[in-house]
Amino acid sequence: MKRNPKEQEASHGKLTRRSLVLGGLQLAFVGGLAARMRYLQVDQADQFRLLAEENRINIRLIPPTRGDIFDRNGIILAQNTPSYRVTIVREDAGDVDAVVTALNRLIPLDGEDLERAMAEMRRSPPFLPITLADRIGWDDISRVAVNAPALPGITPEVGLTRVYPQGPDFAHVVGYVGPVSDYDLSKIEDPEPVLRIPRFQIGKVGFEAKREELLRGKAGAKRVEVNATGRVMRELDRREGQSGADMQLTVDADLQGYVQARLGNESAAAVVIDCDSGDIRASVSSPSFDPNLFVRGISVADYRALTQDEYRPLADKTVQGTYPPGSTFKMITALAALEEGLVGTEDTVYCPGHLEVSGRRFHCWKRAGHGHVDLENSLKQSCDVYYYDLALKVGMDKISAMAKRFGLGVRHDLPMSAVARGNAPDRQWKSDVHGQDWLVGDTVNASIGQGYMLASPLQLAVMSARLATGRAVTPRLIKSIDGVEQPDGAGESLGINENNLRVLRRAMYAVSNDRRGTAYGSRIIADGYRMAGKTGTSQVRNITAAERAAGVIRNEDLPWERRDHALFVCFAPYENPKYAVSVVVEHGGGGSKAAAPIARDVMLEALYSGTPPLASYPKKDRNRIQAQQERLQRERPARGSYGNDRA
């Protein structure tokens, strides 16, 4: 049916309005979309480009090369050496168990290392490489490389690992490194990102730990392109880090090795200090251990053997061990009295074998007594009663102050683990620590280095160096950092009356060189090398009145742990002191028998910078000394023979 013109005109008008409305809506939508696209693509372009770049580019740290450690003569003590290792990527390996089994047929895999690697693999992303075997030999790495096509996901690699060529000789001084643990991170307020790199190693004990930041260096970084799963596709650029500082210590590797061998199987410690500079030339704790075992992961059996050894090989007895100094402390008591003007060099004290104080009898080591003795003879024969009497005159506070002046009861600032303060007690100390009054008997005990008095072998060596020089000699372990010499420890004058020091030095000379001296059997007879010293024996048990009446049990008849400690301190040459030495032999018995011979041998080795001539020893000892020297030469391992068995 044909519509009339009016109807057609009305219909056309409605269609036009609808088209305009629809067109307007479409235009508004397109305009809004265009505006949004412009906002995103132009106004926000930089922000989204950054986000996209961060998703595509990762910044990864490059571990720095750890600084080397040398002795004073440039002999390497700790270094980084190439190390071959085998890694596995789980997602590339497919059947991990089958691949590991095939690898184990080619090279022997340590059970503990394998178990640790599998545990690490389970908690790590599948694309990260996990170390299956570390520090393996060239033959093993070659077999893996040849068979690589049959070992999917397995990669032979070369890296750097820490090695200690001198082995046990420097285990306590240098220490060792190990992987960063959660405990290590918990002790650091704001850990550097490099510390979170898997298996990154830091110093655990000793010098390695105390100078960790200098030795570690600064990490580098590289930019890598990764895919959506995080797998590295390619390296874009890198910035190399800063290697750690090379450190030169004051110790002498040859002397250190000799002292370690000379102490042998004893539970003992010895320290050698240069009197001119304060340089520690040797610091030896025996028995020791091989630090290389800790770097590559010590076995449970080996660690248990170390921790259960009654001689405590893991402890550094030179700075951590504190012992009653015994008669080696008598010079301090005498000097306190001399400086106060309370005793003259010719004044004598009668020793009947004991001294009665406040109703208690304090005994001399010589039951029959020494009779009338002056200062020199009291020190030469180590009369206890003489020092009991001095202590009652001078008082404990003055004795304690003098002890601290000579480095006892003071924590020396050295980059070594757990350096002990020791104890030079006074009246206030006992009140603060024990809540008790100081007793006169405490003073008597302390006067001969017993009771509350405690000192480390390091402190005793410092005391000897200060007695020898009259200066505040301070121990120094770091000689240079990256070739820059560090300040020495020569020290200023102690302000002690030189005449009083001269009296004590002469008395110490008599100890070693007078026929009645307690160390006469361990004297040095070479002209220009003669030694001044002092023996010490410190009790570790109480001797009852009943035992004294029946006869004191000899050390040789007691269990090892109940025997007295043996001590000896000395300096030489007497006329111009060059070195000071201290030796402590745990439960060694008498200082004259156990410690003095070791100290004499160590002193001669230091003075001659090597094996001393037999003419330096008394004639009666020369055959024995020659046999000892030959034995020690055979027993000492070749330099640098440790840590390279699997490098």
> Rounded to whole angstroms, how far apart are CA atoms 642 and 253?
14
Q: What is the mean pLDDT of residues 457-464?
A: 98
Q: State the pLDDT at residue 646.
A: 38
Distance, in Å, from the CA atom of 625 to the CA atom of 614, rounded to the nearest integer, reads 7
What is the predicted pLDDT for the residue at 216?
93
| Cα angle value 15/18/20 (rounded, 5°) | 110
Token duo for residue 537? 């024996």
Residue with tokens 């490098």: 647
Q: Which pair of structure tokens corresponds to residue 473?
A: 């000699």
Average pLDDT over the chain reads 88
Whether 41 has a pLDDT exceeding 80, the answer reads no
Q: CB–CB of 386/351 below 8 Å? A: yes
Question: Which position has the higher pLDDT, 610 or 221?
Answer: 610
Report d(CA 280, CA 486) in Å as an integer. Answer: 14
451: left (phi over 0), alpha (psi -120 to 50) or beta: left
In this predicted model, which residue has the larger pLDDT, 223 or 54?
Answer: 223
Compute the distance between CA of residue 577 and CA of residue 574 in angstroms, rounded to an integer.
6
Confidence of residue 415 (pLDDT cuts 50, 70, 90): very high
Question: Which of 407, 402, 604, 600 is CA-nearest to residue 489?
Answer: 407
On the 0-12 / 13-18 / 19+ scale of CB atoms within 10 A, 14 is exposed
**What is the predicted pLDDT for the residue at 378?**
96
- Which whole number is the average pLDDT over 298-302? 87
Better-predicted residue by pLDDT, 160 or 409: 409
pLDDT of residue 121: 82
Distance separating alpha carbons of residues 576 and 465, to the nearest angstrom: 12
Q: What is the pLDDT of residues 469-506, one digit of tens each?
A: 999 999 999 999 999 999 999 999 999 999 999 999 99
Q: Is 277 a catalytic residue?
A: no
SS3 per-residue string spanning 559-626 = CHHHCCEEEEEEEECCCCCCEEEEEEECCCCCHHHHHHHHHHHHHHHHHCCCCCCHHHCCHHHHHHHH
What's the rounded Cα separation, in Å, for the pair 637 and 405? 40
What are the domain boundaries of the chain? 52-75+166-249, 84-159, 253-302+315-635
| Distances, alpha carbon 234 to alpha carbons 53, 57, 230, 238, in Å | 14, 10, 12, 12
Counting residues of the chain whose pLDDT is more than 90, the rounded percentage is 61
Q: pLDDT at position 122, please?
A: 81
pLDDT band at 298, cuts 50/70/90? confident
Could you tell me the pLDDT band of residue 300, with boundaries at 50, 70 and 90?
confident
For the chain, give the number of residues: 647
The residue among 535 and 2 whose pLDDT is bigger is 535
537: phi then psi, degrees, rounded to nearest 5: -135, 120
Report pLDDT for 289: 96
- Give the class (CATH, top level) of 52-75+166-249: alpha beta
Q: Provide the residue type at 29 as one letter.
A: F
Choice among 327, 456, 522, 616 that is catalytic: 327
Place of tokens 């008082």: 395
- What was the pLDDT predicted at 423? 97
CB 297 within 8 A of CB 315: no
CATH match of 84-159 with 3.40.50? no
Q: What is the pLDDT of residue 165?
A: 95
Beta bridge partners of 220: 62
Is residue 617 predicted with pLDDT exceeding 80? yes
In this prediction, residues 58-70 reach a mean pLDDT of 83
pLDDT per residue as tens digits for the range 551-606:
777 877 788 888 899 999 999 999 999 999 999 999 999 999 999 999 999 999 99
Work out the average pLDDT over 531-535: 98
Which distant-in-sequence residues (6+ apart) come within 8 Å of 591 by Cβ? 326, 327, 328, 518, 519, 535, 536, 537, 566, 567, 568
* Alpha carbons 439 and 430: distance in angstroms, whole number: 10
Dist. CA 486–CA 173, nearest whole Å: 18
The CATH code of the domain at 253-302+315-635 is 3.40.710.10
Apex CA 447: angle with CA 597 and CA 508, to 5°?
40
Over the stretch 220-256, which tens digit does the pLDDT of each residue have? 877 767 665 455 567 777 888 889 999 999 999 999 9
- Tell me how far apart the alpha carbons of residues 316 and 260 are, in angstroms, rounded to a whole number: 13
| Tens digits of residue pLDDT in 75-129 | 999 999 888 888 888 877 888 888 888 888 888 888 877 887 888 788 777 766 7
For residue 231, what pLDDT is reported? 54
Per-residue burial over 473-483, b if 16 or more Cβ lie within 10 Å, else e, is: bbbbbbbbeee
Check residue 548 and give its pLDDT.
66
Could you give the C-alpha distances from 459 to 175, 225, 365, 536, in angstroms and in order? Answer: 21, 57, 25, 15
pLDDT tens, position by position, 143-158: 888 888 888 888 887 7
